[in-house]
Structures are given as C-alpha cells and as structure tokens.
A and B are shown apart, each in its own frame.
Chain A
C-alpha cells in the first residue's frame, strides 16, 4: 500500500488519510470485548448505583458496604487473603530460591515449574475434594483434622496449597534476575552470606516479593470455587455472599446487593493490582 507519489493536493490528502482507517481491523476484537467484558462490568457498576426500584441512580446503595454484615464479609475476605498471601509468599519464595539455585536446564527445575503451573491452576472444587480426602474429619485418609471446617484455618490451608505454586511462578523470574556477580562481589569485599542477604539480595528482591504478595492477595480475594466446595452452608467471604445475593429471591435489595459487593471487590482488587504493577516496574529495572 505505497502512498501515491504524486503531489496533487487532493490525491495526497486522501493518501494520508487512508492509514487512519486501519484500526477498523481491530473492530471484531473490540466488539467482542465490549460485549462480554466491558458491558457486564458496566452492568455491575450501574446496578451498584441504581435505585432498587429500577428508576434512576443513587449512591445510597453504597451504604450497604458500610453495614456490619458487609463489613464482616470484607474483613473475613481480607483476613483470609492476607494470611494465605503472606504464608504462601514466604514459603513460595523459599521454594523459588531452591529452584533457582539449581541447574538452569535441569530436570528438577522443569518438573517443579510444570508442577507449579498445574498446581496453581488446581484450585477450586477438585482441590477441596482432595483435602477432604486427605484430612477431612469425615473420612480423611491421613488424619482427621477437627479444625478442618474452621475459618480461616481449614480453608486457609487449602488456599496456601495453590498460593505457593503461584508464588513460585511469579517470583522465580525475580530470583533468576539476581546476578551471580553480586554475590561474588559481596564475598570478595568481605561479606558473609547473611550480610549479602541483608544489604544486597534482600533489598533487591523486596519490591518483587511485595508485589508478588499483593498478587497472591488479589488471587485469594477473588477465589470462589474452592471455598464454596469446602463449605457451602455458611457464607464467610464476599465472593460467597455475592453468589448468595445473586441466587437469592428474597427482596429487591438483594438484586443490588450482589452488584454493590461486586463493586467493592473490584475497587479493592484494582487498587492492589495497581500497586503490583508499580512494584513490578521497579523490579524490572533492577533484575532484568
């Protein structure tokens, strides 16, 4: 599509305007995403600020978020997510370091990476079943954990099971980015292993670690299937309550409750993800 070489005014103007229509090639994609991602999101946000009667907008629905019930759900969600994110991040970081410090092309590394890829996806229904089989009070093979149905211990343990592999997947690149020369230079200058981690390794990995912890937090916050398979009678966290509100036939206020809770969730997750993205930029500069 070479632009016309003539300098006739009209012709060249048209030749210049032509490329600007090329964006229409992305229309199918944009339409698809518009209908199935942006529209539903819009519906949620719109529903959150709509009057229960359906006519007009109001912000009073948001008061629902301040109610003790809603606060309870959010606190539970945050508590569960924070604990499993921290524990998962710490354990995952240790495992990531163990994987990174081995042969870069070795079998062990490949198996653990593939395994992490699988286990990180192995959340949800099947995972809850597996734990039930392993340590459930009513039929556990290995042991009967009486605390299995306690919140947050029981479900927390299950969450940690997929948080650790996720941490390995997202944190490993950062650990790989620790150049061996830094370790050797520190040694050469007289530093011990402890001093290395305190002055060099630790500070360099800190943003990545923090960012990945936030990612794990957002992940746990958004989780639904696992906890529903673990315990479906009592609603502990926001995601469970959203589904209750969605499927409940009781009263008009419930219709908005789902949207309002969803809005609350999106805001929290969006904030966390933004912080994550910012931390990633710092990490990328140091540990490319």
Chain B
C-alpha cells in the first residue's frame, strides 16, 4: 500500500461538498442517470472482483467448492505473522503520535509567530511526495546503520522514516483544520486571560481541530499499515514484508489472502469512518 502520492490540489476526501443538487430537464436527467448507473456498475465490478477473489480464496476449504475458516484461524497460530501484525500496529500508533507531536506545535507556532517561515515548512512537508520512498531508502540506509548501533534492532525504529512519509498527508489534513479557525484571535484571547502556551495548545486549539487531528491520524495509520518499500529494503520485518515472505516461501495462499483481506477491510472501515465523521461534524458546525 501507500504507493500513492496525491498532492496539493487536494484529496477530495477532506474537502467540502458543493451546495445544492442541480435541477435539470427530465430528458437530460434520465440520460445522465443511465450513464451513471452503467459507470457505477462497471467500475464497481472491476474493483470488487479482485477483492472478492481474495476473500473467496481465503475461505477455501480442502476440496474446491468447500468453505472453511482454516486460513483465518491460521493467522493467529503463525507466530511470525502475529508478531508482524503487532509490530505494525505499534508502529502505526507510534508514528501517529510522533507526526502529531512534530507537526501540530510547529504549525501552530508558525501561524502565530513566524509566518514568514510557513512557505518553507509547507515545502518541506510536501517534499516527500517528490522523493519516492525507493529513493529515500537508499539514503536512509547509512542513517539506519547508526540507529541500529545506538538504539537497537527493533523494527519499531522504522517510525523515524514513517513520520517523514506521512508528512504530506498529515500536513494537508492539519492545514485544512487550522485554516478553518482563527488561531490568532483564540490564542490572544486565551493568553490575555493568563494561559501559557501549553494550555493554549492543549485546551484551546486542539479541541477545535479535532476533526483535522482525526484525519491526520487515520491517514498516517493507513500509510503505516500499507508500507513495504522502506521496511523491506532496510531489512526489517513488518506486516507487508511478512506477507511478502510468506508468499515466496509457502504454497499455502489461504493465510495470505485472509490477512490481506483483513488488512484491507480494516483500512476501508477506517477511511469510511473518516468520511462519515467528517460530514456529520460539518453539518453541526
């Protein structure tokens, strides 16, 4: 996963929907609906089929045509796989925290006190989109040699690199949230009432950008769950790498597909939450 580099110009997921539905002549509306129906069915099939195949394969029993949850149960009984899942989930959490800690104070600070540096910060945050992971990892190899010497061999150390990969997405999400509220006024009001900077950030600003924080977290999480390139080339084992290894080592594809399907469904639910939570919030606000 995370082969994607959507850029400034917006991920439609995070943006406002346009105003009222259009009214048009019956004739055109009918033709348009036919077109839409055909398009949705055609594309729907195309996208669903590989996923269906994967899920179906994962439910395959011993004899063709039979169903069995054996493959799904095997996920739990394979120590390497469970270990990889654990590590990846932990990595996701750590990366989310690091990204937020890194970006939120910085972005708020820039908006409040150092506006002139904001172009630079934006450029740096969007730079990872122009430097593909495969290129970055070439330069990260020596850096990680040092890390391995001083901080141990755990795959959790990947978070350093993952935070960088997540920067563009998290930045866009947080920028959208911060632009929507008037930080300057809020913080000045709070400060005039005696709050220190920590209080301002934690009690005043953070609650108002809850949606953006959620977005940034979910996007970062999805990215970490799907990351393969850097982990693999830095010789660590995370979920995707483990799946890859299994695929090369064994003919038992069932477990493979079960895990893949699980990971996919998990991410889908995550992003669906993002999409629906976003709409509802805006409706009330």
Contact = CB atoms under 8 A, between A and B. Distances in A.
Interface stretch (B76-84, B158-166, B177-185): B158-166
A204 interface: no
B102 A29 contact: yes
Interface in A107-122: 108-122
Given A121-B223, A164-B43, A39 B143 contact: yes
A185 interface: no
B207 interface: no
B15 interface: yes
Interface in B92-106: 102-103, 105-106
Given A35-B143, A104-B18, A130-B54, A124 B3 contact: yes
Interface string B88-129: 000000000000001101100110011001000100100111
A79 B252 CA distance: 34
A283 B10 CA distance: 12
Interface string A110-148: 111111111111111111011111110001111000000
A133 B50 contact: yes
A262 to B, nearest CB: 4
Contacts of B49: 134, 142
B53 A40 contact: no
Given A170-B10, A246-B138, A122 B160 contact: no
Contact of B138 (A113, A126, A180, A259): A259
Contacts, number: 307
A282 B268 CA distance: 33
Nearest to B25: A187
B11 A169 contact: yes
Contacts of A246: 137-138, 141, 233
Nearest to B108: A25
Interface of B: 1-13, 15, 17-22, 28, 32, 35-36, 39-40, 43, 46-47, 49-54, 56-57, 102-103, 105-106, 109-110, 113-114, 117, 121, 124, 127-143, 160-161, 163-164, 167, 222-223, 226, 228-229, 232-233, 240, 243-244, 247-248, 253, 256-257, 260, 263-264, 267-268, 271-272, 274-276, 279
Interface of A: 19, 22-23, 25-26, 28-30, 32-33, 35-37, 39-44, 47, 91, 94-95, 98, 101-105, 108-127, 129-135, 139-142, 161-162, 164-166, 168-170, 172-173, 176, 180, 193, 211-212, 215, 218-219, 221-226, 228-229, 232, 239, 242-243, 246-247, 258-259, 262, 265-266, 269-270, 273, 276-277, 280, 283-284
